[in-house]
Amino acid sequence: MGGYGDIQLLNEDGSRLDGRAIDEMREVEVEAGVLPAADGSAWVKHGLNVAVCAVYGPMEAHPRKIQRQDRAVIDVRYNMAPFSTSDRIRPGYNRRSREISKVTAEALESVVLVERYPRSKIRVEIEILAAEAGTRCVGITAAAVALADAGIPMRDLIVGVASGKVEDIVVLDLDKAEDNYGQADLPMGILPTTGEIAFLQMDGDLSVEEFNTCLEYNMKAAKEIHVLMVDALKRRYEEKNGGEA
């Protein structure tokens, strides 16, 4: 099964090509407040993915037709840098980035208390500097940290994580080969303190059992990443406070 002939994605001993266990995440690093011009910003490295996010606002929503009288709109622009992959990406908006911008905005709208800022716009710019599968998840994680850094009220820090299936085995956090040649991919936006899901997409087929395993892996990973996000935010301000707070 798999559809790609004899491509082997798991080693003989059951470990993955990069040596990780099946429920092991790539290494994650988070940094808050990296861009001085933005109201809030974040830098997230997840495996070989690198995302930078800047948040501006709340500001008056323009053009006026996008204004909502009862809430703020979140204007997300997800973009991959031309040099982020080995094949140069043509700069500018494309179908994929529009889709990811849209779903990211919808995920963020469910955690940000948008009703606090009627007629406003919160601008979220996500730039992928290096890509290695799972960039939409890294973008969501970066956006959450940047929004918190900007002082935008939120119910929780949303975390983007993905699981998938390769060679009929459910694995956490797909890398490039697993994403390209695997059987399924399940990215999620998780609210780690309540366990709610604000974003879910599925590419490929998963049985109910496999889906549940993915969910379990994602929840576990989300909690781990959440610790790093909180740490990044606290580190930034505790340093500023002379190490007190």
Partner 1 sequence: MSGAETGAELRLVTPGEAIGASTGVRAGTGTLSQGENIIATRLGWVKELNGTVSVDPINAAYMPRSGDLVIGVVESVRNNLWFADVNGPFNGLLPMSLAPWKVEFGAARIHMDVGDVMLARVQEVDEAHNVVLTMKGVGLRRLKEGMMSEISMNHISRLRGDGDSTLRALKEASDCRIIVGENGRVWVDGDAAGVSFMRQVLDLVRNGGHRATFDASLEAIMNDAPGGVA
**Residues engaged in binding partner 1 (CB under 8 A):** 39-40, 57-60, 69, 113, 117-120, 148-157, 191-194, 229-230, 233-234, 237-238, 240-242, 244-245
Q: Which is nearer to partner 1, 30 or 206 (CB)?
A: 30
* Closest CB to partner 1 among residues 86, 194: 194
| 168 Cβ neighbours under 8 A, 6+ residues apart | 1, 2, 183
CA atoms of 39 and 58, how far apart (whole Å): 9
What are residue 170's phi and psi, to 5 degrees? Answer: -80, 130
Comparison of 21 and 227: residue with beta carbon closer to partner 1: 227
26: number of Cβ within 10 Å: 19
Task: Give min distance, CB of 138 to partner 1, in A.
Answer: 19
- Residue nearer to partner 1 on the CB measure, 18 or 239: 239
Distance CA 55, CA 43 (A): 12
Min separation Cβ 145 and partner 1, Å: 9
Mark out the alpha helices in the chain (DSSP H runs): 95-109, 135-149, 176-181, 208-240
Nearer to partner 1, 58 or 134 (CB): 58
Number of helices (H) and strands (E) in the chain: give both, helices first: 4, 10
Report, in Å, the least distance between residue 188 CB and partner 1: 16
Compute the least distance from the CB of residue 152 to partner 1, in Å: 8
Least CB distance to partner 1 at residue 27 (A): 22
How far is Cα of residue 107 from the mean position of the Cα atoms in its chain?
A: 10
What tokens does 39 get?
A: 């109201």
Pairing of strands 73-80, 120-130: parallel
169: helix, strand or coil: strand
What are the b/e assignments for 78-87, b being 16+ CB within 10 Å? bbbbeebeee
Query: Least distance to partner 1 from the beta carbon of 243, Å?
Result: 8
Give whichever of 150 and 215 is closer to partner 1, judged by the CB atom. Answer: 150
Alpha carbon distances (Å) from 164 to 32, 178, 220 = 29, 8, 14
CB of 71: closest distance to partner 1 in angstroms? 11
Nearer to partner 1, 197 or 230 (CB): 230
